[in-house]
């Protein structure tokens, strides 16, 4: 079983491969969340952080899904829900098949249960208030029907409503509904927008509005002996998302935030068959 340092080492290895792939194929990507903060505050991982996540503009994100299966090393599996398979995430994950990281909400799924690198798309935020409200409604519908999982941490009303909606919708229709929702929530372009938002990061983050220029390019900063990209106007993004991001949280909050039933950076998930639900 792996400790935090081993998980960080494997995460960095995967991130280096991912960034190199994006460079090779002219795709824009940047560390987000704790990875971006770590680059600025620690020149590497936040000491208690256990993963690296990336943002990509929507057009680059969609190209990644097309290019990765054709050109990437087979060790790294791209997982993205579709008509025939639902991995219960709202976004792309890249999984290292040489490792094991089995999440409780996915333990019964037949997929490569390796350490994951999350890749989240960024979308335009329409300036018209009525259009923005519609975008959020469609994003919530997308979240429910893409993940096909009842949200547990967003209030009793949302949990109750989601249970009813999913229960009343035949499985054959769920994909059509989520693809319609995805089309509607991502249809805005720069001409009718005055911001950038996250629509696949959960209800809290989809309320955020970032300046468009914050994500027009990336800059590379030192990160654990290598370099990693972060948004060019990182301060506008991070201060909006997290407030005073350069001040560490209280000691009791300095803990890894992802759980795993089994985490082993030295063995493939295939060696744990029969020890979890799949």
pLDDT, tens digit (0-9, with 9 covering 90-100), for 188-233: 999 999 999 999 998 889 999 999 999 999 999 999 999 999 999 9
Burial class (CB in 10 A: 0-12, 13-18, 19+), 232: middle
Q: What is the pLDDT at residue 167?
A: 59
d(C-alpha 6, C-alpha 263), whole Å: 10
Determine whether domain 4-121+211-272 maps to CATH 3.30.460.
yes
- Residue 157's pLDDT band, with cuts at 50, 70 and 90, is very low
- At residue 192's C-alpha, the angle toward residues 236 and 139, to 5°, is 75
Span 119-131, average pLDDT:
98
pLDDT confidence bin for 257, thresholds 50/70/90? confident
Q: With the C-alpha atoms ordered 66, 70, 71, 74, is the resulting torsion angle positive or negative?
A: positive
15-39 tens-digit pLDDT = 999 999 999 999 999 999 999 999 9
Q: What is the pLDDT of residue 161?
A: 47
- The pLDDT value given to residue 146: 86
123 close to 190: Cβ distance less than 8 angstroms: no
pLDDT at 278: 54
Contacts of 48 (CB under 8 A, 6+ apart): 4, 254, 255, 256
Q: Which residue has the higher pLDDT, 237 or 165?
A: 237
Residues 49-87 have pLDDT tens digits of 999 999 999 999 999 999 999 999 999 999 999 988 989
Task: Give the best-scoring range by mean pLDDT among 172-186, 221-235, 261-275.
Answer: 221-235
Q: What is the pLDDT of residue 53?
A: 97
Q: Cα–Cα–Cα angle for 76, 80, 86, nearest 5°?
A: 125
The tokens describing 113, both together, are 């249960």
pLDDT of amino acid 166: 66
């Amino acid at each position: 079983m792996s400790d935090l340092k081993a998980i960080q080492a494997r995460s960095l290895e995967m991130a280096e491969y991912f960034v190199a792939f994006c460079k090779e194929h002219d795709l824009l990507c940047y560390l987000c969340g704790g990875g971006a903060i770590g680059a600025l505050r620690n020149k590497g991982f936040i000491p208690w952080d256990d993963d690296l996540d990336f943002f990509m503009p929507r057009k680059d994100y969609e190209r990644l899904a097309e290019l990765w299966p054709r050109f990437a090393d087979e060790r790294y599996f791209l997982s993205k829900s579709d008509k025939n398979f639902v991995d219960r995430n709202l976004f792309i994950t890249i999984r290292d098949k040489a490792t094991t990281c089995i999440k409780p909400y996915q333990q019964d799924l037949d997929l490569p249960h390796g350490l994951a690198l999350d890749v989240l798309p960024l979308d335009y935020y329409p300036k018209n208030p009525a259009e923005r409200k519609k975008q959020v409604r469609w994003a919530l519908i997308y979240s429910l029907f893409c993940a096909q999982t009842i949200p547990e941490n967003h209030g009793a009303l949302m949990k109750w409503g989601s249970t009813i909606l999913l229960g009343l919708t035949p499985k054959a229709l769920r994909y059509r509904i989520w693809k319609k929702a995805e089309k509607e929530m991502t249809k805005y372009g720069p001409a009718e927008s005055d911001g950038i938002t996250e629509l696949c990061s959960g209800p809290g983050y989809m309320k955020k509005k970032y300046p468009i220029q914050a994500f027009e390019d990336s800059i590379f900063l030192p990160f654990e002996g290598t370099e990693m990209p972060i948004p060019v106007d990182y301060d506008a993004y991070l201060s909006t998302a997290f407030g005073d991001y350069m001040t560490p949280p209280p000691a009791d909050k300095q803990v890894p935030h992802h759980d795993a039933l089994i985490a082993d950076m030295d063995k493939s998930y295939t060696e744990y068959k029969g020890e979890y639900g799949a």
